[in-house]
Amino acid sequence: MESLKKNADFKNCYNSGKSFVNKYLVLYLCGNGLGRNRYGISVSKKVGNSVVRHRVKRLIRETCRLHEHEMAVGYDIVIVARVRAKELGFFKIEDSLLRLTGKAGINISSGKQSEK
């Protein structure tokens, strides 16, 4: 699983990508033309202190790792945690993220796949 590290990559995804929203997460999606997915996870200080933020980030990262084989390839995916996400356990975060990827059309296991 490759991650987005540069601020320019995050900004590109925010500005030129599509966004999908639910109560707990926001997913930004844009094509990268690399033949693999790159993931970026952002958790604001509004969510909580560093312990809480890191916990949320770990849960999101683990969900991405477990379901990476179900995703269409060739995308930069930025996941932003909303304040309500701090109260969630792993299975709620997983469900929320899988619903967003289904809505975005990149979850192959849900039967839909979008064009790049």
pTM, two decimals, is 0.88
Instruction: Give the chain's length.
Output: 116
Write the pLDDT tens digit of every residue in 14-55: 999 999 999 999 999 999 888 899 999 999 999 999 999 999
- Which CATH number fits the domain 2-103, given the four candidates 3.40.50.300, 3.30.230.10, 3.40.47.10, 3.20.20.10? 3.30.230.10
* Spans of all domains in the chain: 2-103
Given a contact cutoff of 8 angstroms between Cβ atoms, the answer to whether 88 and 25 are in contact is no
Given a contact cutoff of 8 angstroms between Cβ atoms, the answer to whether 84 and 22 are in contact is no
Work out the end-to-end distance of the chain between its first and last CA atoms, rounded to an integer number of angstroms. 20
